[in-house]
Structure 1
């Protein structure tokens, strides 16, 4: 079908995650703009709680009626293509939907393991994957050893959550534990994991080279035996942009300028994990998504008004990691996302993590009821220079 919006400008947002929802809500500030959100699931997924879903302490979903403006039309379907010539989005079950402007906020998923036996692992990057893993963990004997691969935030949180629930866990980092963290914060995390009984394997020798039904083999020749192997290493993005003839960066993110506008089409704006402004994407996560989403919406609204959008400005406060229900860490950072020596740990860190999770939903709700509620200010004063320094020899992947 082709949308008929009574002469209003129609904006389609592809992706109902943190960036997509806040962008869609913000767009409703104009009555002459019709907004459609296309998402393959009927509920909003709290990805930052998926490790809790696996351990059984949260369901990690929120009804869209609680976070999405009633002015936004929700289409539960998967986008399969973008036709720039006809300005339409093809859908798996319905469509096509016609747009005047499009916000590309397709998000990210788990990085597929590039090792023999990858199909024997349990990824945790999506709701469906986490639900499968939860059932597998529940079915495993109480004394079964579990292996978590990935030393980043997701791997740490998953290992800690399962260990606190009484499981025997080995965390295979494939490198350094919590590479983002300052050494002070890393020591704090290592201490907490040790207290929970988690065995942590670090260094280049702890890189997984293959997986079998009951073990992972490592680069140093060793192996870790376990009943389940949970894969929490890396993220990738959907290939919708590349399949639709839009240029992407090497990781498949949509290439955009500093206003988040596609370098191929000024009616397509990127947001969230799948956005690559100037080929220098921000760290994936809800912290950047909740800033990129409003910027993307503002860029579209400015273009509707006939103006040029402002350059994106994203500033970071740090990284919040739960270490079970009883502890956590908030690693403070500079606005350019560089960790500093200060962190908040223990029970205070756990309370901060829960505040972040709850406040994230609150921010979406506020934008639904009062579009434009999120004030966006210039924060990272170093980005302009870094972008200028990196303009030459930036790899671009043609679709």
Structure 2
């Protein structure tokens, strides 16, 4: 009987589940998935949980391969030298390879009063608390949503469709990723729902109180419930474990998604920073990166050279309540096209996207190794070359400064 290789996957989101399922292709690989919750959370549905139109939980039994062992717990530290992880409940778990897929959440707001009075939405527990807060608030209470990315837009629309009085403080452009044509459609839909959209740099929130938000231009808006969707953050597990990360705390990897510090550690999803050029946050991207990370591990086990990641983003979907959405088509370099689908047709495509993000996991559980995705274009290669040239230039400048300082000292 061949020796077993044990792979530990940290994180049971889109990337972690996809990776864990794909790793079961080999009979000589055992897989343990560690996740803080006993159920899968489809984060694309969290704004619906807040609005009461979806519970945003899926039973792991329907999407996790039978050969994957699920451990409900939290990893507090990774010991790369000892090849084990420490659990909050006590004890350690050893591994031959580690797949790091801890996902993302909200960054610390850094705005006076926001941590105390604003409500995040990036986790299941946060969304459940916010749902309770809204349930206790009067129907006519003023609601402010801070941040006009996908989560902010979707949350504002979801609540406004239910009759809530919503103000969306963009702090910049509404839906910055969108093509201007699609952005105008989003703005019109929000207006029809009664959402007050505040755009421009002067609408950046500078303070939050119990019953108001203050903007950069000095305005103070009544807000019985303030929802914070701005910013991006990742768990600090890699930083606490002494692993090399980017400025945001994502694990630094090469283009095969292998940690630059340890080839036994591979990363995927929002918590990975390949070549310090992370991909756009999305459930679609997380699933594809999870599959590629698993392929990297499997190739290393087989003694083969892993392949560089190759990924394109065909679209971005934004729900605008239950009856409309924008399905923004994208070029292979992940820039928005003029083409998009709106209205009820867009809503159907958005719902299909949400459903398929989970269905892909279930399919991979049944037939590991079958998930596929469209290849990217040459733009990432160009960005990598530019980044390398910039790094070399900075290194030469620093060496020159050091040499000049040494000559002066002499």
* TM-aligned CA deviation for residue 376 of structure 1: 4.4
Residue 52 (structure 2) aligns with: 56
Per-residue deviation, residues 228-270 of structure 1 (Å, max 9, x unmatched): 1000112200111111111111111000000000000000001
* TM-aligned CA deviation for residue 70 of structure 1: 1.0
The answer to whether the 8 A contact 2:62-2:362 is kept is yes
What's the Cα RMSD here? 1.3
Per-residue deviation, residues 96-138 of structure 1 (Å, max 9, x unmatched): 0000000000000112211100121000000000000000001
1:9 to 5, 8, 12: 5
Structure 1's unaligned 5+ residue stretches are none
- SS of aligned partner of 1:332: strand
Residue 111 (structure 2) aligns with: 115
1:90 to 51, 64, 86: 86
* TM-aligned CA deviation for residue 377 of structure 1: 5.0
Residue 34 (structure 2) aligns with: 38
Normalised by the size of structure 1, how large is the TM-score? 0.96
Normalised by the size of structure 2, how large is the TM-score? 0.94
Is 1:152 the counterpart of 2:149? The answer is yes
Residue 369 (structure 1) aligns with: 366
| Counterpart Cα distance in 1 of 2:102 and 2:51 | 27
Matches within 5 A, 1:348-359: 348-359=345-356
| Counterpart Cα distance in 1 of 2:383 and 2:310 | 13
* TM-aligned CA deviation for residue 22 of structure 1: 0.2
1:368–1:359 Cα change, 3 Å: same
Residue 181 (structure 1) aligns with: 178
* TM-aligned CA deviation for residue 285 of structure 1: 1.3
Please say which structure displays the higher CA radius of gyration. 2
Structure 2's unaligned 5+ residue stretches are 395-410
1:168 to 146, 165, 168: 165
1:328 to 325, 328, 332: 325
Number of residue-to-residue matches in the alignment: 391
Per-residue deviation, residues 312-360 of structure 1 (Å, max 9, x unmatched): 0111012100000010001111112101111100001111110000111
Residue 65 (structure 1) aligns with: 61
| Counterpart Cα distance in 1 of 2:62 and 2:221 | 43
- SS of aligned partner of 1:236: coil
